[in-house]
Amino acid sequence: MKEGTEGVGFFLITSGKVSVSRGGVDLASFGAGEFFGEIALLDNYRRSATVTAAEETEVIALLRSDFTAELRGDAELAVRMLVLVARRLHNADERLAAMQ
C-alpha cells in the first residue's frame, strides 16, 4: 500500500509483520491481530502512509463498503477502533516531537 493512493480496503494481519512509513520515515510496525488501512476509509481521503511486508504476511482484506457496514452494525467495534486510531495518532505525535 502506497502513501497518496486511493484507499479502497482495510487489512487485518493474520500472520507476519508489516512496516508503516511516511515520507521515508518509519512510523510503526504491526503484526498478527493488528490492522492497517483504516484512516483512508474513515476520512475518504488518500492513504496517509506506505505499508510494506517486513516478512511473509497474510491479511484479511475488507472493501470500504464492508468495513463501514461492520462499523455501523457494531457500535462496540467502532468505539474500539476509534480508541486504537487515537492511540496511534498520539504515538505518532510523540515520535514527531522527539525528532524536532
Within a domain: 30: yes
Residue 1 lies in a domain: no
Percent above pLDDT 90 for the chain: 50
**Amino acid (1-letter code) at residue 33:** G
CATH number for position 70: 2.60.120.10
Residues listed for the chain:
100
Query: Residue 44's domain spans which residues?
Result: 9-99
Q: List the alpha helices (DSSP H) in the chain.
A: 38-43, 64-73, 75-99
Task: Note the pTM of the prediction, 2 decimals.
Answer: 0.81
> Rounded to an integer, what distance in angstroms lies between the CA atom of residue 15 and that of residue 8?
21
C-alpha cell at 42: 474513515
- Is the pLDDT confidence value at 43 over 90? no
Closest residue by Cα to residue 35 from 55, 22, 20: 20
User: pLDDT at residue 59 above 80?
Assistant: yes
DSSP for residue 56: S
Domain count, the chain: 1
